[in-house]
Amino acid sequence: MPDVRKSKTSAHSELRLVPIPLADEICPGDSLANKLLESLRRRHTHFQPGDILVVKHKVVSKSEGRLVDLATIDPSEESIAWAKQYALDARVIELALRESRAVIRRNNGVLITETHHGFLCANSGVDVSNVNGGTHALLLPKTQTAPPPTFAASSNALPASPSPSSSPTVLAVPGAKA
């Protein structure tokens, strides 16, 4: 059996995951592109043709300023009743309803909703875990179909890769905590 690792064709079909640690927390208004590219420079790494950069949606949301101070939310009667039944924060339920196009299902304290983006997810993707000590909520990024335009422009303008054609495809994905 041939050693796949030494095959010339296997080098192009290899899948590697390379973390890009950022120096500090992402804040509203930060250029996510600049922070990622600066991190790549510090690591002496650059994008290769065909690379895909996967960015946690929470990081994109933070840079877009999608933080909501829960003290500013006045929950509806519907949110209060649902939250009371399951010992939840009515303000978070209210945000989930506001961020939804439709409520698909209500079960065991979880709202399964269709977001304005067209995604089906729990509580419209409203996240209160690890967000300013529970005083704020984080909403899904404004756009889920393409990278923020500033990333595309910055990745070509900044010399992190050998050529503009080496700019990665960018995906913002929901998932594990950021």
Which CATH code, of 3.40.50.300, 3.90.550.10, 3.90.1660.10, 3.40.1640.10, is assigned to 67-138? 3.90.1660.10
Q: Where are the alpha helices (DSSP H) in the chain?
A: 10-13, 32-42, 57-63, 77-86, 90-98, 149-157
Which regions of the chain carry the CATH code 3.90.1660.10? 67-138
Contact 96, 123 (CB under 8 A): yes
Model pLDDT for residues 11-70, shown as the tens digit of each residue: 567 777 888 888 888 888 888 888 888 888 888 887 777 788 888 888 888 889 999 999
Evaluate if pTM is beyond 0.85: no
Burial of 178 (0-12, 13-18, 19+ CB in 10 A): middle
Q: Are strands 136-138 and 169-173 parallel, antiparallel or unpaired?
A: unpaired
Q: How long, in residues, is the chain? A: 178
